[in-house]
Amino acid sequence: MSSVFLDGPAMNVSLNLARAPVFLRVVQDQKTQKWDALDQIADQPKDDEAIYVYVLDGDVSYGIACSRDKNGSHCRRFWMAEYRYYSQQPTQEELRDYDFWAEWTQEQWGKLRDKPKGIA
């Protein structure tokens, strides 16, 4: 299972997320057209990636998948969430600035009427 994007440029794209924050930068590599999400706190976009802001649509759920092989058991947690394209898109330059992103998401959080519960 994974998180899915319901509309906007990443419509119908599914990605595995290590976190499910309320506001998420989703990137598309302009050469390969592959999608990724900047879901880790330290993630930064690459120069050749276009950046789009998505907002969590509803609450987050998770599951645990375990497998067993000759080296033992391995389990991982996965997040299931739906995201919608956010109507307020900062410029690409602003979205590349980590400090701007942190401050901007706090401002946008205050503007949300229905506050979903993301997984930080």
Residue 116 resides in a domain: no
Residue 118 resides in a domain: no
What is the per-residue pLDDT for 13? 98
Residue 73 resides in a domain: yes
Residue 76 resides in a domain: yes
Domain holding 13, by residue range, is 3-111
Binned at pLDDT 50, 70 and 90, residue 71 comes out as confident
Provide CB contacts within 8 A for 25, sequence distance 6+. Answer: 37, 38, 43, 45, 51, 52, 53, 54, 95, 101
Residue 29 resides in a domain: yes
Token pair listed for 12: 């119908």
Provide CB contacts within 8 A for 102, sequence distance 6+. Answer: none
Residue 85 resides in a domain: yes
Binned at pLDDT 50, 70 and 90, residue 1 comes out as low
How many structural domains does the chain have? Answer: 1
Provide CB contacts within 8 A for 119, sequence distance 6+. Answer: 19, 20, 21, 60, 62, 79
Is residue 15's pLDDT more than 80? yes
Residue 119 resides in a domain: no
